Amino acid sequence: MSGTHTGNPVAARVRRLEERLIEQGLVTDDELDAVLSAVLDGASPLNGARVVAHAWCDAGFRERLLADANAALPELGLSMAGGLQEQRLKVVANTPERHNVLVCTLCSCYPVALLGPSPSWYKSEAYRSRVVREPRAVLTEFGLDVPGGQEITVWDSSAESRYMVLPQRPDGTGELSEDELAQLVTREGLIGTAAV
């Protein structure tokens, strides 16, 4: 984690905090790097896509995933245990009546292990503030027109809890294999800013 972060006030503040922890002897630079590596090791939206495709193909897994995602993920060799502690994951399913979208209004908390590094727009103050106030307008700007009769629920992540959207399975995909279905799922679909 060493190095300078000019021009980015958040990165500079994080580095100052890291330096204070190191000065106090609470952690070393190498330990911080190891935590970051553990969090990012294998982190990819392909993981989330695998979870979704499996849930589309296996009704029992879908039920377990929606009831307790942390307990269901190990069935696919995945977990939310990167870093210092396991993060709580809640998977929320899109339905004809409800569309879900994710945000972290405080910073950019996000299920990195399942979605890969967050897109820059997810971290932007404009997205974080507007999607809560006017989700339908924001989703329209992303090119997603949610029907007027479909309710939109915005899920706000925190340091302890993360969310992932389980998109609706597209019509006409009954003959596709699980691997082929996974190829249809995008990071934006897992956030809720795009349809699959």
Give the residue numbers annotated as catalytic, written as ranges: 104, 107-109
CB 122 within 8 A of CB 69: no
Distance, CA of 168 to CA of 71 (rounded, Å): 22
Query: Would you state the torsion angle of the CA atoms of residues 49, 54, 59, 63, taken in this order, to the nearest 10 degrees?
Result: -60
DSSP 90-129: EEEE--SSEEEEEE-SSS----HHHH-SPPHHHHSHHHHH
